[in-house]
Structure 1
Amino acid sequence: MSQHVQRQAYQARQAGPGDGPAVARDLRREFAGAVHLPGDAAYDALREAPYSSIDPRPALIAEATSPADVRAAIVAARESGLPFAVQATGHGTQVACDGGLLLRTGAMGSVLVDPAQRIARVGPGVMWQEVTAAAEPFGLAPLAGPVPSVGVTGYTLGGGFGWLARKYGFAADSVVRAEVVTAEGHIVAVGPDRHPDLFWALRGGGGNFGVVTSLEFRLHPVARVHAGTAFFAADRAAETLAFYRDWIAGAPDELSTAILITRMPHEPGLPPQLRGRRVIGIQAMYAGEADEARRFLRPLWAAAGPALLDTMRTTPFGHAMMGGTAPMHVELLPTLPDPVIETLVRAGERPGSPVTTVEIRHWGGAIAAAGPDAGPVAHRSVPLSVVIDAHVPEIERALRPHVNGGTFLNFLHDPARTEAAYTPDDWRRLREVKRAYDPDNFFHVNLNVPPAG
């Protein structure tokens, strides 16, 4: 870091946090986007995160329109001593930017597709539904998340685990280049041969190392998929999970599956055979022909019993993205032993239980086969993850002897567990990269990687 920026940071810490209106006034001189203060008409809508547990109260909100705007916001926050956070769609917001400068990047929404090179270049405000729509006419697909309205950049920087991961790896594995504004306010191009340590850290290290203002990643030849959810009565949940434990060993990489044990709401819009019932939902996506998909899935369907409803169909990839379970508690499993099955089946059985859904998802395939230049997305060898949509200490204690203690950054809500998302070697290397590019931990309002030393 330059002596000038170090001096600015030191002076800001001595002076204390800046005044929001004063910072906004100074920022507007070189910031092309809108700047909002508490009380402004757009302030409350822009500060919100998707999770009710977080209620951010930033001192000001700035809506960037370009990398120059991003740089101006970083410099303003540094010089004023304000905490700084960046948010596009907000799904990755786990720490409130109270009293700080919240940078919104939703207006930076460009999408460019090069079908010959099978590359997409996107701005930080782009959502997956926009990329899938742009790639679909060329028979290509990105490694999108299960929810179309999730932002591409935050999802990818955290690793990015979607329905094509078993075939092509994490979304972070497909990144080829990025443009980043650093903590010093430098706009740098990052890739395998330019700032290689930073390029490595970005592909799984989250928003700890800079603000990404454009991202380039590979697209994959997936025109159509066979995908959907089949629902079964929950009384065979234990037998289904026991069968699944062995069945996944023979599943091809083109096939991704998850089993949900869920309590359906009693809503008029739901099919009557599901309404108000506790059911098994088997989600599946096969990147291939329908006949092949049905052949692989038939034994699993038989183990679960007669289907109450089967929505499997062949469709363009962008029309098949199925939502996931809200990850309030996540564990990674080396296997699925009987005590774990019993715990998961009973998790939401009791009337009044806060648990609505338990999800068991199959990993493996290309996730575990990443090359030596892959980024720091950890626990690649784990075969299964468990997501529970509520915190229940009794359930968590019962699972503890059987889990590997790790987690996945994009599923994480507890900042204290950030280190558990990485291997010890990757955690040490991430902290070294952090020290090189952000020694003052300017980017700390996040799932934080502190600088070494």
Structure 2
Amino acid sequence: MARQPQYSVIPDSAVDRLVSEVKGEVFLPDDPGYEAELDGFNRIGRHRPAIVVGAVAAEDVVAAVRIATELGLPVGVQATGHGIAAPADDALLVTTHRMNAVAVDPIARIARVEAGAQWHQVIATAAYHGLAPLNGSSHLVGVVGYTLGGGLGPLGRLYGYAADHVTRVHLVTADGRHRTVTPESDGDLFWALRGGKGNFGIVTALEFRLVPVARLYGGGLYFSGAQAAAVLDAWRTWTRTVPETLTSSVALLRLPGLHQVPGHPAGELAVHIRIAFTGTQEDGEELLRPLREAGTLLADTVAEMPYRDVAEIHQDPTEPLPYHERNIVLRDLDEDALDALLAAAGPDSGCTDPMVELRHLGGALSRPPAVANAVGRDGSYTLSTLSLPGSPDVVLRPLSGWSTGRRYLNFLAGADTSGSAPECFDRATFARLLQVKKHYDPHNTFRLGHALLPDGAA
């Protein structure tokens, strides 16, 4: 039998204050619309808050945080719900999807986005001016959560993490103050926010630099699962030679259907190499020759594309579904590591994970940014998995011998990852994050999601 949540009783006076002070909507568990307001993309978990504030403006967030603090309630936030970890049970949850304005200054090459904006909005607006953001593989992911967690995307090896390009953060902290955070105004907090995710407050808007990219030579190379060993070895060797203008990943896919591969049997293993190259088509074709010759192609979609079509490279799911997301960072990928990966997730492994992906790091992803932040820089690859509900980790553990000991914060979803945030940072970085946390959130109000401190800690 499903657990019945035990909700805190919110005093009528507090509810009345929220209703009068908030321009958006306020939902209690028995209200019509409460369940729909909680819907998120990843259905592996579901929030059961005592009260929900559907914010439409920064002032709504301020009111919600102030009243939650008075009541002693933890505060959570949800935009799209891709990275759900610890559910916001018996808490005050702020939903930000109504706050989704996007503005681009093409002269300064700066975007300003509200808390609930999704990447497809920024991509389209920036593309009109021949610019691009440091978005992720999915155009449906929320900009703020992705960026605060680091932001590893198709332009990463050339331009670094999305967090590296943030110039200003508009933030409501636990004391109910709406702050404009810059390197000059709050240096430690600005450092911590870019990599420390939602542990320090609720972001109402972000400002970040755009890059002058209008097109790519990009897309996917698809091979049958039977060729996994040869293709993965070719990609592994090839990544040691490619320029920083080329960012790539390779995925072992067991998906219900691959629309780019007509006739591919549902759920049967396929190998998908994802390519994003900012150089010319001619140079791209020469660079990709070793991969195209690694096996018999089922499909080849790599071609000239406008940057606004960047989501076509990874072909991430667009409909809500439940999944665990787990990962480790690899210091290297040698032959023994590849053999271990094939044994765990290859064609004869019995693995049922819909996706096992290696992303190539290095380049700007390994260098410190102009303004330091909390994003980890060690490792040569990330190894991540999307698993079915209830599925144990059968892929990452066998590769632990090649791990740096770190995880990547944005590739963690599901309740079993809610305590993993400390594993995403080295000891010195984590200690500094805790100092900033205790200064700006001494009572651990923002302790949901990928929390630095557990519930009850202060």
Fold-level match, TM-score > 0.5? yes
TM-superposed deviation, 1:87: 1.1
Identity of aligned residues (%): 37
- Structure 1 unaligned segments of length 5 or more: list them: 1-15
Distance across 1 between alignment mates of 2:370 and 2:267 = 48
In the alignment, structure 1 residue 295 sits paired with structure 2 residue 286: yes
Distance across 2 between alignment mates of 1:270 and 1:362 = 24
Contact 2:8 2:50 in 1 (8 A): no
Instruction: Give the match for residue 231 of structure 2.
Output: 240
- Structure 2 unaligned segments of length 5 or more: list them: 1-6, 318-322
- Which of 277, 293, 310 is residue 320 of structure 1 equivalent to? 310
Contact 2:28 2:51 in 1 (8 A): yes
| TM-score normalised by length of structure 2 | 0.90
Secondary structure of the residue that 1:120 maps to in structure 2? strand
Contact 1:17 1:81 in 2 (8 A): no
Q: Deviations over 1:224-274 (max 9, x none)?
A: 111111111222221222222221121111111111122343689960156
Secondary structure of the residue that 1:426 maps to in structure 2? helix
Instruction: Give the match for residue 127 of structure 2.
Output: 136
In the alignment, structure 1 residue 40 sits paired with structure 2 residue 31: yes
Secondary structure of the residue that 1:246 maps to in structure 2? helix
Instruction: Give the match for residue 429 of structure 2.
Output: 426
Instruction: Evaluate the alpha carbon distance shift between residue 263 and residue 67 of structure 1 in structure 2; reply closer, same or farther with a 3 A threshold.
Output: closer
Contact 1:36 1:60 in 2 (8 A): yes
Distance across 1 between alignment mates of 2:324 and 2:193 = 23
Distance across 1 between alignment mates of 2:25 and 2:354 = 40
Instruction: Give the match for residue 334 of structure 2.
Output: 337
Instruction: Give the match for residue 361 of structure 1.
Output: 359
Instruction: Give the match for residue 383 of structure 1.
Output: 380
Instruction: Give the match for residue 373 of structure 1.
Output: 371
Q: Which has the higher contact order (CA 8 A, sep 6+)?
A: 2
| TM-score normalised by length of structure 1 | 0.91
Alignment length (residue pairs):
436
Distance across 2 between alignment mates of 1:383 and 1:417 = 20
Contact 1:344 1:358 in 2 (8 A): no
TM-superposed deviation, 1:196: 1.0
Instruction: Evaluate the alpha carbon distance shift between residue 251 and residue 87 of structure 1 in structure 2; reply closer, same or farther with a 3 A threshold.
Output: same
Instruction: Evaluate the alpha carbon distance shift between residue 433 and residue 269 of structure 1 in structure 2; reply closer, same or farther with a 3 A threshold.
Output: closer
- Which of 207, 221, 228 is residue 230 of structure 1 equivalent to? 221
Contact 1:57 1:98 in 2 (8 A): yes
- Which of 134, 137, 146 is residue 155 of structure 1 equivalent to? 146
TM-superposed deviation, 1:41: 2.5
Instruction: Give the match for residue 398 of structure 1.
Output: 398
C-alpha RMSD over aligned residues: 2.3
Instruction: Evaluate the alpha carbon distance shift between residue 266 and residue 437 of structure 1 in structure 2; reply closer, same or farther with a 3 A threshold.
Output: closer
Question: Relative to structure 2, which stretch is displaced further, 190-199 or 409-418?
Answer: 409-418
Instruction: Give the match for residue 221 of structure 1.
Output: 212
Secondary structure of the residue that 1:149 maps to in structure 2? coil
Contact 2:328 2:396 in 1 (8 A): no
Question: Relative to structure 2, which stretch is displaced further, 260-269 or 202-211?
Answer: 260-269
Instruction: Give the match for residue 412 of structure 1.
Output: 412
Q: Deviations over 1:371-425 (max 9, x none)?
A: 36321001x1311111122354554432122212210110123122211111111
